[in-house]
Amino acid sequence: MSEAPELRDPKAIAGLIKEIQTLAEDVDHQITLMEVCGTHTHAVAQAGLRQMLPVGVRLISGPGCPVCVTPVDYLDRALALAALPDTTICTFGDLMRVPSSLSSLEQAHAEGKPIEIVYSPRDALDRARENPARRIVFLAVGFETTVPTIAAAIAEAEAAGVENFLILPGNKVMPPPMRALVEDQELRVDGFLLPGHVSVLTGWECFRFLAEDYNVPGAVVGFAPADVMRGVVDLLRQAKAGRAEITNLYGRVVSSKGNLVAAKMVEKFFEPVATAWRGFGEIPGSGLGLRAEFAHRDAGLIEVELPPPHEPVGCACGDVLRGVIDPPECSLFGTACQPATPVGACMVSSEGTCAAWYRHERLTGAIR
């Protein structure tokens, strides 16, 4: 769906900023809002929206980057699989440079390991068809938005009898870590800008627990600057009124129940499992694992030798993902850790908070 021109109109944004300033004057404490979507992270940084907010309103980033929250031992396992005979790893490109305990997919590829960049799970399935003597393992990393296409590829492999197509399950779902965030004693979040892309698939009702169980409001928003600012206005209005509701401000594409056809496809092949998130540890029900009847597609069941998991020394990516600190508060930010020489996953990924701050906000004094 095309974006309405007024969503990027400077006059419209200025009007929203003025309303935010007025609302902030009526709230007697600092309001901390969090977005949990990598696309929102970059939209906010690129448009300079954080610098437009009054002192009493703080906008922080949470675990919205799927590559960033993928734990180091997942990469360790992928590299161990790549070292097996007759096995090829297929991955999206943004995983290539993420550090594992000892190396990275990019480094292993340079050393001759069979690791290929693909643009969809279907590309990996095609590799499996073309190379029946090799085991093709697709690295299934991403949030709810990527899972239907993975499920579709598995369905096609099942129907066609392509037995050498496997996945390494690593998909995650957003509601459980958001519950962890509002229960985090180191953090106070007064409201959430909820992810638009995820909500297209899940519907907005899956976030109702924030308001009902924790009295924390949320607003589903799109990705244009005015979309984000309208979300901030909505959350400040709720704070002023003492309300906590989930509002859908992205109604042009998001419904209450989401895409039920896609959900049914996903449910056929996947089930909720506990999984680890960088910065959080293991969160119950936050991952998607293959159901038992499709265990023959699960590369995670292949026995491999793994090194002890090891995060880069000094990297504070986990704290950035939890919103406990902003990127400039990491001692490596902008010095040892830059896009050309990334130390942590948050600087590697195009959706990473550190990458967004480095490209758009490191010289603006956005940290408060």
Q: How far apart are CA 92 and CA 357, in angstroms?
A: 23
Is 362's pLDDT higher than 60?
A: yes
Give the single-character DSSP code of 29.
S
- In this prediction, residue 2 carries a pLDDT of 45
Q: How far apart are CA 79 and CA 307, in angstroms?
A: 11
Q: Copy the structure tokens of residue 290.
A: 């293959």
Judge whether 5-64+175-248 and 67-173+259-301 match in fold. Answer: yes
pTM of the model: 0.93
User: How many CB atoms lie under 10 A from the CB of residue 148?
Assistant: 18
- In this prediction, residue 60 carries a pLDDT of 96
Is 294's pLDDT higher than 80?
A: yes
Q: Does domain 67-173+259-301 have CATH number 3.40.50.11740?
A: yes
Amino acid letter for position 113: K
Options 3.40.50.11750, 1.10.3720.10, 3.30.2020.30, 3.40.50.150; CATH for 5-64+175-248 is 3.40.50.11750
Q: How far apart are CA 168 and CA 96, in angstroms?
A: 15
Q: For residue 238, give every residue at least 6 positions away whose Cβ sits within 8 Å of its Cβ, in sequence order, or none.
A: 191, 217, 244, 245, 247
Instruction: Domain ranges for the chain, please list them.
Output: 5-64+175-248, 67-173+259-301, 317-360
**pLDDT tens across 317-354, in order?**
999 999 999 999 999 999 999 998 999 999 998 889 99
Is 1's pLDDT higher than 50?
A: no
What burial letters (b/e) apply to 187-214, b meaning 16+ CB within 10 Å? bebbbbbbbbbbbbbbbbebbebbbeee
Q: How much is the average pLDDT of 242-254? A: 96
Q: How much is the average pLDDT of 218-235? A: 95
